[in-house]
Amino acid sequence: MKENYLNISFPSLPDNVSLSRVIVASFAAQLDFTLNELEEIRVATSEAVSNCVIHAYPDHVGEVRLELKIKDDTLMIEVIDEGCGIQDLDLAKTPAYSTDPERMGLGLVFMESFMDEMTIESQPNQGTKVLMVKKPERSKNSSHDCQ
């Protein structure tokens, strides 16, 4: 079983959202993901990092940590900030809800739909940690095949 990890920290700048997409896609490519699955991983990661840039640090630049791990043919992505946190997590998960009227409020919906698992831990004024897990569809199917 292949195991690998990558931890990187960067400032919560808009330019680093696209950088996070490239990093996660390159790392995830070590597994047998389809091009479509890789795009879903990129979108989910950029949504999580965008949330840090826009919502976690609305009035200053803070730090975003991207922690990637491959274990047992599974990709785990953690996006962590130490920003203002999410005041009402249940409300934030509601489709079309956003604290910014200029935004569509679908980021968490996309993240959850594109990943096999997603958990969010957040405390007001203490930051947020998003964990997303995805296993390649091909490996899910092959693990149940009979010979």
Residues with active-site annotation: 47, 51, 103
* Radius of gyration of the chain from its Cα atoms, rounded to whole angstroms: 16
Other beta carbons within 10 angstroms of residue 121's beta carbon come to 14
**Which residue type, as a one-letter code, is found at position 55?**
H
Q: Structure tokens of 97?
A: 């809800």
User: Can you tell me whether residue 66 is helix, strand or coil?
Assistant: strand
- The Cα 84–Cα 27 span in angstroms is 29
Calculated CA dihedral for residues 20, 96, 39, 80, nearest 10 degrees: 30
What is the 8-class DSSP label of residue 93?
A: T
Residues 6+ apart with CB under 8 A from 103: 54
